[in-house]
Amino acid sequence: MRALFIVTVCISISIILVLSLLPFYHEVLMMVSLSASATVNQSVTTSASSLFPLVSASPSQVPLPPQSSPSSSLQFNISATETEFDAFGIAKIYPTKEGGREWFINMSDPKSSPNFSITDNANLSHLSDGSWRINSSHVRMVINMSDDQTEWKNTEITGFVRLAYLNDSQLDSIRDISNSSFFSNTPISLDTPDDEEPQDLVFISRSGRHSSEVPCEGTAYNGDLHTDGSVGWKKEIWHTGGYTEERARHTVTEPLLGKWIGWKVVVYNIKIGNDSTAVKLESYLDDSNTENNNWAKVTELIDSGGWYANTNNSEFFRAGCDKVKDHIITEGAPFIIFRTDNLLLDFKNLSIREIQPPLNVNLTNVLSL
């Protein structure tokens, strides 16, 4: 009996000791857990700090590009199991809206593409690699809408291009181009580009006619890609007194001349605040020169007001367009435009799709205008 009593006492003491040490063990486990969490958070913070600033992406979107210097790689691979592809095999950032339009250029004969026109009916040359070269220093390839179609609104615009500077002989070959009644009544200058003239590629959405005859129709969101490897956005509230300054401009890659690059511009409406409507603007670049769907998001911002025309009040309001000076272009428009200025343009696989915008948009780290 004495031995049984001693064993019982020892067991009781052990249980008491274990119970008394449980809080300590709990604290140790909590410390280990917090330490692991801090390590993970530090890793996420460190990783995020190297990403393109002022950009956010939902889980359904592609990841953001590293952004350290112009020479850093912008590419990431898109998983074929998670991404849809268009008729040219190009990855879609957003799915096509149910019943929405999809426009693809006819690569056998671009001028026969539906609702397609080129200002001044510029000549096209078919190159040995299947792409096309347009012989104009000021390119405006316009995609219109049929009478039974609604205006272009929420869109993803895509194309692959190769850009080069025009030399004197190329300028001489197109000096018969004088002006464009579609865009302006002002003659086009074909002198060698100077520092005051743009040398860029622009995909234009929510565009009407850009003419002094109907100035209030000349709206646009311009997704700019410059030859020095920088990108940005401009807005036009009316033509020509409603231009804004360029926003979100920064250098994302090395100079782009002489190689194939992919450019995507995405524009769609979102609801913010007290059910007010704003416009989300995104652009994506594939600068891999391989057309392997190495897309990187390089700009992302929101026009929710405060992005003003850079003309004075007298100039801005003289057109009588009944628009405020920071008008948000939430309405659709009849034209999508592929534009270059003062550059030789080779192009292929141009497309436009009406997209289904994401249901949830993270506004935390997006540049809101």
pLDDT tens for each residue of 128-139: 999 999 988 899
Residue among 277, 213, 286, 222 at smallest CA distance from 252: 286
pLDDT at residue 352 greater than cutoff 70: yes
Residue among 87, 81, 61 at smallest CA distance from 297: 61
User: Is the separation of the CB atoms in 144 and 334 below 8 Å?
Assistant: yes
pLDDT at residue 152 greater than cutoff 50: yes
- Alpha-carbon distance of 267 to 263, in angstroms, equals 14
- For the entire predicted model, the pTM comes to 0.73
- Alpha-carbon distance of 58 to 111, in angstroms, equals 38
- Per-residue tokens: 312: 């004075």
Q: Which residue is listed with tokens 């860029």?
A: 200
User: Is the separation of the CB atoms in 321 and 189 below 8 Å?
Assistant: no
In terms of Cβ atoms closer than 10 Å to its own Cβ (0-12, 13-18, 19+), residue 128 is: exposed
- Alpha-carbon distance of 315 to 298, in angstroms, equals 33
Distance, C-alpha 7 to centroid of its chain: 76
Identify the weakest region by mean pLDDT among 163-177, 179-193, 253-267.
179-193
Identify the weakest region by mean pLDDT among 18-27, 189-198, 267-276.
18-27
Confidence of residue 49 (pLDDT cuts 50, 70, 90): very low
